[in-house]
């Protein structure tokens, strides 16, 4: 019998498919999704701030 995937697994697969040509964006989207599930809005804001800082440093 084939095991059904849970919603978490389906969302991660969806994000991989959505950003299949952009691995960095897929990774960021998945980490944001996971952090939101774990920590809620504050955790998500932390990830966004870290990513924005990284982008600004590169410029």
What pTM was estimated for this model as a whole?
0.72
Please give the DSSP secondary-structure letter assigned to residue 59: -
> pLDDT category, 14, cuts 50, 70, 90?
very high
Residue 1 lies in a domain: no
What is the Cα Rg of the chain in Å? 14
CA–CA gap between residue 9 and residue 7 (Å, rounded) = 5
In total, how many domains does the chain have?
A: 1
Determine the pLDDT at residue 54. Answer: 87
Q: Tell me if 2 is assigned to some domain.
A: no
The distance in angstroms from the start CA to the end CA of the chain is 52
* Percent of the chain scoring above 70 in pLDDT: 100
pLDDT value at residue 19: 94
Instruction: Write the DSSP symbol of residue 1.
Output: -
- Residue 17 CA to residue 23 CA, distance in Å, equals 10
List the beta strands (DSSP E) in the chain. none
Domain housing 24: 7-58
Specify if 13 maps to a domain.
Answer: yes
- Over the stretch 21-44, which tens digit does the pLDDT of each residue have? 999 899 999 999 998 888 888 888
Instruction: State the pLDDT at residue 30.
Output: 92
Would you say residue 48 lies in a domain? Answer: yes
């Amino acid at each position: 019998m084939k095991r059904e995937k849970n919603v978490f697994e389906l969302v991660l697969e969806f994000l991989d498919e959505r950003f299949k040509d952009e691995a960095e964006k897929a990774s960021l989207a998945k980490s944001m999704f996971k952090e939101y599930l774990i920590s809620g809005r504050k955790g998500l804001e932390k990830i966004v701030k870290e990513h924005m800082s990284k982008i600004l440093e590169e410029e």
